[in-house]
């Protein structure tokens, strides 16, 4: 069942087009990574899902309703990012009480245990937390509220390595304990790969890939072989990047357009190897012919 | 009310806004001490204090100065009109014993009594001359009568200063003291802006002081009062 | 799929009001403090004074009425209304279940509750001032009326509500859609222009001459209009944390 459905969704801020004609459908009860580079439009899309922003064009439906300013969506959704703020008067303990009062599926004990694990003093105010601590607290807040749609916008920003790995596990465990839809946006795909089921890749305001993780990874392949053998092959297809060192060329190409079987390739001395998801993302979103080295030359 | 007085309000308003903003900033600074609970207790205490003040005021702080009700003021107004009428008809019967405040007995020589009146502030005191057969020649009786002097429902008659009356160089001097100021602190548990504007038309207030004090000089019939200033009127 | 929770707008508004009323309480303490400040400042002069000269006695009256406290409260309400719609407060709303509608309605209820509290605080401040004056001035202390009539209190409440509503509406419109912003700016410009061009044309007299209850009803009517506009604009407003 689709939890979110977007059709021809566009959003512009003045002249800037943040999102352009996005059409996608997200399944319920999955951990979905919203991946994209800085300024790709991830946060804008998530804000529209959360009902904070109104699409300029097109439609967006969450739980089969228009999410904008919708109390039904709001009561089944939580949006966690580093801007989450609470009144100056509330200590963390009070904030947990606040959450418990509002969210019907709130897990207070779990919150206490997780915060204790993270070593966060509950008598502090939210404003007194360090960047990493507040990110941890926000994530805990998002997890224990157990909303059917949990949106985590860059949840791990500022956390240290140890806590990050711990909390990726925590997300997974919580997901298993109470299956729900997680939308996690991040630009560190590498460390999230283990928990993601699906990836929605956004670049320059458009969806350029939306697939289960495995399928996503198989989109691109790395070809390695003698330059002469590859040259012919590469001339017929889209090449994402290509490097030639002493007669050996390595190139990344779109796997779906590689109509030659692996057997034949092997006979030509070409090896095919797969890429990691984050590498795929990198190549899919990198602009052609752009090279940081060029700036310094 | 036009907009012009509103411009005069502008500076205090600005002051108020500044006060609020400072308080707001202070509130953020002291948020650790003034938690919502303590703030609520503080406000409750303030309200209780105010309520106690109300109880105390309503039981114990009695004003010694009565305020006349509009109907009482109306009555007083009628009385004034009567006094005025009598006075214009040279009829002294309105000068009752009860209104007597002070009497000066003076002696002089001869058959004429020159009167010198020093009144810098053109006070409302009326001076009347009356022949009295019971008084021996060479003597005169100056009597000060005080009638209610009502301003906005408050009788000022006790506050009105008496004139100085004395004889020097065979002349009768009547001297008024310089203007006295009385300051009342009045509790009006209403919205004055509204009341002031609403009552301006049918307000029974104002001041009825044209006959609030009368000085009567009783002289024997044989004596002539020499009044060069023309301030003394005859009365029967 | 887990069943979705169905919480009514009513429930959410109730919860928001409950928390907001506690968390915004510093607004009331600033009202108390400013009333104390102005109460002390006017303790020797009163809210108004009048004088009668003539004769050999001149009379000065210092009137201790509710005016100064009401004026302070009314401006307070406007500022508080504006503050409630500032970014910090709106961001806090996003951390719990809320929609713009529910937050706007909750703010309105908090405003109404606080207006009611403000009236009680006015009464307290007034009697404290009266007590102070009665201790300082024993001889020339005149009590014309000591009991505040209920209709006066209703006028106070409705006026505070009205200004709070205007504050909320103002604050909300500047966070609303561009069209609303432009409209409000135009309206303000025109109003200012109008005031400067012909200051005499604004006549509050017919309003002041209304009986207390009529005036309150009028105040509350305008206040409800402002409240409805606030909700309407809030419905259309976007929020962004960035």
**Rounded Cα distance, A82 and A153, in Å:** 8
**Which chain C residue shows the shortest CA-CA distance from B12?**
C72
Q: Which of B42, C94, C62 is nearest to A47 (CA)?
A: C94
**Rounded Cα distance, B92 and A269, in Å:** 143
Distance (Å) from the alpha carbon of A135 to chain C's nearest alpha carbon: 14
Q: Which of A239, A102, A155, A126 is nearest to C103 (CA)?
A: A102
Per residue in B52-65, pLDDT (tens digit) is 999 998 888 777 77
pLDDT score, position B124:
65
pLDDT score, position C241:
65
**Confidence band, pLDDT 50/70/90 cuts, at residue C54:** low
**Which chain C residue shows the shortest CA-CA distance from B210?**
C55
Q: Residues of C with CB below 8 A from B29's CB?
A: none
Give yes or no for residue B102 having a pLDDT over 90: no
pLDDT score, position B201:
52
Q: Residues of B with CB below 8 A from A89's CB?
A: 31, 35-36
pLDDT score, position B189:
86
Give yes or no for residue C56 having a pLDDT over 80: no
H/E stretch holding A43? helix A42-49
Residue range B67-79: mean pLDDT, rounded: 80
Residue range A156-181: mean pLDDT, rounded: 91
Per residue in C140-197, pLDDT (tens digit) is 888 888 899 999 999 999 999 999 999 999 999 988 888 888 998 999 899 888 888 8
Q: Which domains does chain A have, with CATH numbers?
A: 2-212 (3.40.50.300), 219-296 (3.30.70)
A29 in reach of chain C (CB within 8 A): yes
Q: A with B: how many residue pairs have Cβ under 8 Å apart? A: 5
The residues near A44 (Cβ < 8 Å, ≥ 6 apart) are A11, A18, A19, A53
Chain C partners (3+ C-beta pairs within 8 A): A, B
Give yes or no for residue B115 having a pLDDT over 50: yes
A174 in reach of chain C (CB within 8 A): no
pLDDT score, position B53:
92
C131 in reach of chain B (CB within 8 A): yes
pLDDT score, position A288:
59
Q: Which residues of B touch A (CB under 8 A)?
A: 28, 31, 35-36
Distance (Å) from the alpha carbon of C96 to chain A's nearest alpha carbon: 7
**Confidence band, pLDDT 50/70/90 cuts, at residue A33:** very high
Alpha helices in chain B (DSSP H): 4-29, 36-59, 70-88, 192-199
Distances (CA, A) of A100 to A80, A106, A108: 16, 5, 7
pLDDT score, position A230:
81
**Rounded Cα distance, B217 and B131, in Å:** 8
Supply B185's token pair: 């602190």
Pairing type for strands A181-186 and A31-36 reads: parallel
Distances (CA, A) of A13 to A18, A56, A151, A199: 7, 9, 22, 26
**Which chain B residue shows the shortest CA-CA distance from C119?**
B47
Per residue in B124-152, pLDDT (tens digit) is 677 888 888 888 888 888 888 888 878 87
Exposure b/e, A252-274, CB count within 10 A at least 16 = b: bbebeebeeeeeebeeeebebee
The half-sphere exposure of A139 on its side-chain side, counting CA atoms within 13 A, is 30
Distance (Å) from the alpha carbon of B198 to chain A's nearest alpha carbon: 46
Supply B39's token pair: 């703030």
Question: Do the chains contact at C240 and A28, CB–CB below 8 Å?
Answer: no
Q: Residues of A with CB below 8 A from B28's CB?
A: 88
**Rounded Cα distance, A172 and A140, in Å:** 13
Give yes or no for residue B199 having a pLDDT over 80: no
**Rounded Cα distance, A224 and A251, in Å:** 7
A30 in reach of chain C (CB within 8 A): no
What is the three-class DSSP state of B219?
Answer: strand
The residues near A165 (Cβ < 8 Å, ≥ 6 apart) are A191
Q: Which of B212, B58, B33, B232 is nearest to B128 (CA)?
A: B232
Most confident of A162-166, A273-277, C193-197: A162-166
Alpha helices in chain C (DSSP H): 9-23, 26-41, 67-84, 87-94, 100-136, 150-175, 178-197, 205-208, 212-236
Q: What angle do CA B221, B225, B230 make, to 5 degrees?
A: 135
Of A231-240, C177-186, C214-223, least confident by mean pLDDT is: A231-240
Per residue in A255-269, pLDDT (tens digit) is 877 777 778 888 888
What is the gyration radius of the CA atoms in chain A, in angstroms? 22
pLDDT score, position B7:
57
Q: Which residues pair with B234 in a beta bridge?
A: B129
- Kindly tell me the burial class for residue C158, based on how many C-beta atoms sit within 10 Å of its own C-beta (0-12, 13-18, 19 or more): buried
The residues near C109 (Cβ < 8 Å, ≥ 6 apart) are C13, C17
Overall size of chain C counted in residues? 242
Q: Residues of C with CB below 8 A from A72's CB?
A: 4, 6
Domain extent listing, chain C: 9-47+61-236
Higher pLDDT, A195 or B25: A195
Residue A247 Cα to chain centre, angstroms = 38
Percent of residues, chain A, with pLDDT higher than 90: 45
Substitution target in B26, B30, B31 with the highest count of A β-carbons within 10 Å is B31
Give yes or no for residue C77 having a pLDDT over 70: yes
Residues 11 through 40 of chain A touching chain B, CB cutoff 8 Å: none
Supply B84's token pair: 């005025």
Distance (Å) from the alpha carbon of B48 to chain A's nearest alpha carbon: 25
Substitution target in A89, A90, A98, A127 with the highest count of B β-carbons within 10 Å is A89
Supply B183's token pair: 């300051």
Give yes or no for residue B3 having a pLDDT over 50: no
**What 8-state DSSP symbol labels residue B81?**
H
What is the three-class DSSP state of A293?
Answer: helix
B45 in reach of chain C (CB within 8 A): no
Residue range A269-296: mean pLDDT, rounded: 78
Q: In what order do the strands lie in the sheet with B139-146?
A: B100-107, B139-146, B213-219, B126-131, B232-234
Question: Do the chains contact at B190 and C209, CB–CB below 8 Å?
Answer: no
Q: Residues of C with CB below 8 A from B68's CB?
A: none
Distances (CA, A) of A84 to A134, A249, C64, C91: 9, 49, 48, 7
**Confidence band, pLDDT 50/70/90 cuts, at residue B2:** very low
Distance (Å) from the alpha carbon of C167 to chain A's nearest alpha carbon: 21
Question: Do the chains contact at C23 and A89, CB–CB below 8 Å?
Answer: yes
Of A105-114, A127-136, B5-14, least confident by mean pLDDT is: B5-14
Supply C229's token pair: 């506009």
**What 8-state DSSP symbol labels residue A125?**
B
Q: Helices B4-29 & C26-41, crossing angle to 10 degrees?
A: 130
Q: How many CB atoms are located within 10 Å of the residue C216 CB?
A: 22
Residue range A233-237: mean pLDDT, rounded: 78
**Rounded Cα distance, A206 and A37, in Å:** 12
Most confident of A37-41, A193-197, A290-294, C124-128: C124-128
Substitution target in C27, C38, C59 with the highest count of B β-carbons within 10 Å is C59
Hey, which bits of B133-226 come out as E strands?
139-146, 150-151, 154-155, 164-168, 171-175, 180-188, 207-208, 213-219, 224-226
What is the gyration radius of the CA atoms in chain C, in angstroms? 22
Question: Do the chains contact at A148 and C2, CB–CB below 8 Å?
Answer: yes
Give yes or no for residue C7 having a pLDDT over 60: yes
Q: Which residues pair with B92 in a beta bridge?
A: none
Smallest Cβ distance to C79: which of B3, B17, B46? B17
Q: Which residues pair with B24 in a beta bridge?
A: none
Residue range A100-125: mean pLDDT, rounded: 93
Contact A198, A210 (CB under 8 A): yes
Contact C136, B183 (CB under 8 A): no
Question: Do the chains contact at A88 and B35, CB–CB below 8 Å?
Answer: no
ipTM field: 0.88
- Kindly tell me the burial class for residue B194, based on how many C-beta atoms sit within 10 Å of its own C-beta (0-12, 13-18, 19 or more): buried
Give yes or no for residue B202 having a pLDDT over 70: no
Residue range B165-191: mean pLDDT, rounded: 83
Residue range C53-82: mean pLDDT, rounded: 86
What is the three-class DSSP state of B156?
Answer: coil
Of A62-76, B122-136, C126-140, least confident by mean pLDDT is: B122-136
């Amino acid at each position: 069942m689709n939890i979110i459905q977007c059709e021809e969704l566009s959003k512009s801020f003045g002249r800037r087009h943040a999102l352009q004609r996005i059409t996608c459908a997200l399944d319920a009860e999955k951990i979905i990574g919203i991946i994209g580079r800085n300024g790709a439009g991830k946060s804008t899309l998530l804000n529209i899902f959360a009902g904070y922003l109104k699409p300029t064009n097109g439609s967006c439906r969450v739980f089969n309703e228009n999410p904008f300013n919708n109390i039904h969506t709001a009561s089944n959704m939580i949006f966690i990012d580093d801007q989450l703020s609470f009144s100056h008067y509330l200590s963390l303990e009070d904030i947990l009480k606040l959450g418990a009062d509002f969210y019907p599926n709130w897990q207070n004990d779990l919150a206490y245990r997780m915060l204790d694990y993270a070593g966060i003093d509950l008598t502090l105010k939210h404003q007194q937390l360090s960047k990493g601590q507040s990110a941890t607290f926000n994530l805990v807040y998002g997890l224990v509220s157990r909303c059917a749609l949990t949106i985590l916008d860059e949840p791990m920003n500022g956390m240290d390595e140890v806590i990050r790995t711990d909390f990726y596990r925590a997300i997974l465990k919580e997901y298993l304990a109470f299956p729900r839809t997680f939308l996690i946006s991040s630009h560190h795909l590498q460390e999230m790969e283990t928990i993601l089921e699906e990836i929605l890749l956004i670049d320059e305001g458009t969806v350029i890939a939306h697939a289960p993780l495995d399928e996503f990874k198989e989109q691109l392949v790395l070809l390695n072989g003698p330059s002469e053998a590859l040259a012919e092959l590469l001339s017929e297809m889209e090449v994402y990047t290509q490097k030639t060192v002493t007669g050996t060329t390595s190139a990344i190409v779109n796997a779906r357009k590689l109509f030659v079987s692996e057997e034949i390739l092997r006979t030509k001395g070409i090896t095919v190897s797969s890429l990691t998801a984050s590498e795929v993302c990198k190549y899919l979103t990198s602009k052609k012919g752009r090279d940081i080295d060029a700036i310094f030359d | 009310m036009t907009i012009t007085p509103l411009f005069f309000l502008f500076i205090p308003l600005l002051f108020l806004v500044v006060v609020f903003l400072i308080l707001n900033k202070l509130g953020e600074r002291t948020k650790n001490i003034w938690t919502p609970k303590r703030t609520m207790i503080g406000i409750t205490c303030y309200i209780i204090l105010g309520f106690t003040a109300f109880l105390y005021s309503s039981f114990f702080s009695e004003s010694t100065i009565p305020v006349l009700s509009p109907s009482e003021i109306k009555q007083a107004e009628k009385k004034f009109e009567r006094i005025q009428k009598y006075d214009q008809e040279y009829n002294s019967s309105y000068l009752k014993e009860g209104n007597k405040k002070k009497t000066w007995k003076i002696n002089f020589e001869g058959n004429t009594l020159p009167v010198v009146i020093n009144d810098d502030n053109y006070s409302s005191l009326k001076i009347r001359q009356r022949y009295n057969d019971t008084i021996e020649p060479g003597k005169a009786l100056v009597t000060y009568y005080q009638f209610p002097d009502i301003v906005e429902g408050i009788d000022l008659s006790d506050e009105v200063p008496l004139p100085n009356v004395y004889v020097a160089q065979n002349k009768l001097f009547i001297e008024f003291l310089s203007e006295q100021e009385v300051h009342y602190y009045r509790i009006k548990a209403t919205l004055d802006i509204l009341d002031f504007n609403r009552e301006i038309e049918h307000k029974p207030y104002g001041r009825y002081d044209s006959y609030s004090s009368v000085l009567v000089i009783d002289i024997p019939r044989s004596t002539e009062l020499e009044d060069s200033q023309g301030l003394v009127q005859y009365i029967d | 799929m887990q069943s979705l929770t169905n919480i009514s707008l009513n429930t959410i508004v109730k919860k928001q009001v409950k928390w907001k009323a506690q968390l915004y309480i510093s607004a009331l303490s600033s009202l108390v403090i400013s009333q104390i400040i102005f109460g002390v400042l006017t303790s020797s002069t009163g809210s108004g004074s009048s004088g009668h000269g003539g004769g050999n006695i001149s009379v000065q009256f210092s009137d201790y009425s509710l005016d100064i406290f009401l004026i302070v409260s009314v401006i307070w309400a406007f500022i508080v209304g504006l503050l409630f719609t500032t970014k910090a407060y709106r961001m806090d709303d996003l951390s719990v279940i809320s929609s713009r509608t529910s937050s706007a309605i909750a703010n309105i209820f908090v405003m109404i509750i606080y207006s009611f509290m403000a009236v009680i605080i006015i009464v307290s401040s007034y009697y404290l001032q009266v007590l102070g004056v009665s201790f300082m001035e024993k001889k020339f202390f005149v009590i014309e009326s000591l009991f505040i009539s209920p209709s006066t209190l209703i006028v106070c409440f409705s006026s505070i509500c009205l200004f709070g509503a205007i504050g909320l509406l103002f604050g909300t419109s500047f966070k609303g859609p561009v069209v609303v912003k432009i409209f409000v700016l135009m309206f303000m410009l025109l109003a200012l222009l109008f005031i400067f061009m012909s200051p005499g044309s604004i006549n509050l007299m017919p309003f002041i001459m209304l009986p207390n209850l009529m005036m309150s009803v009028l105040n509350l009517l305008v206040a409800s209009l402002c409240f409805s506009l606030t909700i309407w604009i809030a419905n259309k407003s976007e929020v962004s944390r960035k």
